Structure 1
């Protein structure tokens, strides 16, 4: 298939030693990035090509984080060639078996798959944090404000924006000291971004936005998955599995709830934006799952200021519909 290919892809592949390969476009994600499977003309090898066109995308963070992960024994794809000016990265092909897809057809493997994913976080959290920017209050606030910026107008409601910011300041402030010196936070660590490899390992993808922050964040990302149902029983079992390997401290459950609410508020805003701005309505179907997890997080006493804001600003009919009936 050669239609709708990025300009310069053939010359890039030729220069990387993959000239004459078959180029197979793959389904995209929620960004401007596109992916192609590259099959060598001799049929004996394959690779993955990421097309991340500037200025919308920048390959440098992906390469920077991936290099650090590989250097520290984590299973990121090997990089074969790259051209930052054109946004091309040719890398190891992790195949098509996402953890989420495998568990859809083999639910009996769920416990083992999640244990392995938790074990990878244990390894990650045992390392000194990588050379990445901090996940500080400014970032937390910028992310949670996606909800009043995008979801609330889409739901037809006007809210107290200043009170929202103040509530999050109060709720999140206690955890800031506990995320020092911090761990590497991949930020999008969930069952659609974990690849099951032929050698039995799990491969990491979509880690270019890594920051240095709190160890609970990637646990939330995995166990309060926006794209896949994770039962409260499995969530609890995996948190216990993690706690048996790392002494997370007495405030970990509260911080997990704080970051759960923070992440879920962000995702509700992002999914509304993907619909309204980017014309991608399929994400609306995921909002009820995210909202349900956020309600559980808001029930924790550590989220009292934020819960009070939601009670005062998001009407009960919208909350009961777990997504405001968007779309």
Structure 2
């Protein structure tokens, strides 16, 4: 790898502190920031801002580790602040627990030249030197960590072009994708959300020479979010207003819709909120949506179809990931063939007459509750980029069988009934056809999720998703209880796919 270099002029202490925030937003466990500079160059200002940003505590006491040699902070990402000035040899860094610190956190190292040979090759070097009335920061490094820092600095430049260059940045939320979100605050304005949505890495071909994301129609760039967000906003759905966008880099400055989650204070579902969300879906499904949507003048997004190939490759995640985990062996060709046969028969039953714009992940993590408002405006929707044209029933199943929280059969039924009542009130609604499609889509979605949650553990090192599996199996059993899915249910039962497992 080639060492890359960036330079930033810092006009004053405030600019130095902002660089500390920018570095904090890019930091991950295992990262090392090597901080060089003469006395008074601004190392303490930079370090203090970085640690306070990670702690989300502007008043946090951050003493110099000159005498203790290392200070540790239990922040969002644990950070260990080393001062190597008094080391007599590079080998002494081992006695400070340096390697152990990197196993579960990041390291900020002052006077790194005292142990340069002992630092990882992927360390990011930051040298501060006086320049005129300010100072110059010279950043150098290689690999993924330096790429993250480069992107974080580009986000600061984006904020500058939007008139928010002096805003403070704090981590907000990440998700299972590469997207992340920050809260940015600027005096005199309501806080906004900074969305970081890098272009999707497609991965290797998995079928017919195409990557999974292409077959499943996963959004490949932020253009999809912008186009769908604007279309929804124009139709009265409370999605974030977009204050600034950089489609090429994947940065958006968004309205902050609020901080109250869709669940109650204990993380439990509230029946009235689920019913309100179902009524919002009914309103949306009663509208006609264009397949081509404009993001910015002259730039369009064509909303993909939720076609059979997409449905099947998603359902295949169960045999690709879940089956090997619970059986200890890859799925046999006979199992795969039978699985496809039964799923094709189920999908043959879908009636394309009730296809519409489906948001795909319409569930509690992506809904903000705004109880001080009325009607549909009580619901803020924040994740729309993967929307497709597909069965209206899919989003109802996504909501009523919420993957992240246990929705009782009673609340599920109230949610579905609220949707059905709203569709009947609008006229021309085929309830029997909807309920059959609801069962099919609920079975497809929960089969997919069983595979995704195992993949997140096996491939991505995120074991905490496995705790959701019993809930998803229960949802799958509920969906397969519909008479139209009796053969599919028999197949699942014959292969032990609905059995409770101890992992």
TM-score (norm 1): 0.91
Name whichever of 267-276 and 242-251 sits farther off.
242-251
Q: CA RMSD in A?
A: 1.8
Q: In the alignment, what sits opposite 2:224? A: 61
Q: Map of 1:178-257 to 2, 5 A cutoff?
A: 178-180=351-353, 182-197=355-370, 199-200=372-373, 201-246=378-423, 247-257=429-439
> What does the per-residue CA deviation read over 1:180-200, in whole Å, with 9 as the maximum and x for residues that have no partner?
362111111111211123642
SS in 2 for 1:320: coil
Name segments (4+ residues, structure 1) moved above 6 Å.
none
Give the distance between the partners of 1:83 and 1:204, measured in 2 at CA. 21
Cα displacement (A) at 1:242: 1.6
Give the distance between the partners of 1:121 and 1:248, measured in 2 at CA. 16
1:294 counterpart (455, 472, 476):
476
Cα displacement (A) at 1:259: 0.9
Alpha-carbon spacing, 1:309–1:223, altered in 2? closer, same or farther (3 Å): same
> What does the per-residue CA deviation read over 1:215-269, in whole Å, with 9 as the maximum and x for residues that have no partner?
1111100011111111111111222222222123322222211111111001111
1:28 counterpart (174, 186, 202):
174
Name whichever of 193-202 and 291-300 sits farther off.
193-202
Structure (1 or 2) with the larger CA radius of gyration:
2
Q: Map of 1:274-289 to 2, 5 A cutoff?
A: 274-289=456-471
Equivalent residues of 1:187, 1:210 under 8 A apart: yes
Give the distance between the partners of 2:496 and 2:188, measured in 1 at CA. 56
TM-score (norm 2): 0.60
Give the distance between the partners of 1:202 and 1:55, measured in 2 at CA. 28
SS in 2 for 1:289: helix
Give the distance between the partners of 1:187 and 1:66, measured in 2 at CA. 14
> What does the per-residue CA deviation read over 1:292-318, in whole Å, with 9 as the maximum and x for residues that have no partner?
110111122211232122122236xxx
Give the distance between the partners of 1:120 and 1:138, measured in 2 at CA. 29
Q: In the alignment, what sits opposite 1:307? A: 489
SS in 1 for 2:252: strand
Name whichever of 83-92 and 262-271 sits farther off.
83-92
Q: Map of 1:1-327 to 2, 5 A cutoff?
A: 1-2=21-22, 3-5=24-26, 6-40=152-186, 42-56=187-201, 58-100=221-263, 103-105=264-266, 110-131=270-291, 132-155=303-326, 156-157=328-329, 158-159=331-332, 160-175=335-350, 178-180=351-353, 182-197=355-370, 199-200=372-373, 201-246=378-423, 247-314=429-496, 319-321=498-500, 324-326=501-503
SS in 2 for 1:19: coil
In the alignment of these two chains, the number of paired residues is 315
Cα displacement (A) at 1:44: 3.1
Alpha-carbon spacing, 1:104–1:230, altered in 2? closer, same or farther (3 Å): farther
Equivalent residues of 1:170, 1:305 under 8 A apart: no
Query: 5+ unaligned residues in a row in structure 2: which ranges?
Result: 1-20, 27-151, 202-219, 292-302, 424-428
Name whichever of 194-203 and 42-51 sits farther off.
194-203
Give the distance between the partners of 1:7 and 1:55, measured in 2 at CA. 20
Name whichever of 285-294 and 195-204 sits farther off.
195-204
Q: Which has the higher contact order (CA 8 A, sep 6+)?
A: 1
> What does the per-residue CA deviation read over 1:98-150, in whole Å, with 9 as the maximum and x for residues that have no partner?
202xx14496x823212211111111011013422221211110110011011
Equivalent residues of 1:32, 1:52 under 8 A apart: yes
Give the helix-richer structure, 1 or 2.
Answer: 1
SS in 2 for 1:49: strand
Query: 5+ unaligned residues in a row in structure 1: which ranges?
Result: none
Give the distance between the partners of 2:416 and 2:492, measured in 1 at CA. 27
Give the strand-richer structure, 1 or 2.
Answer: 2
SS in 1 for 2:177: coil
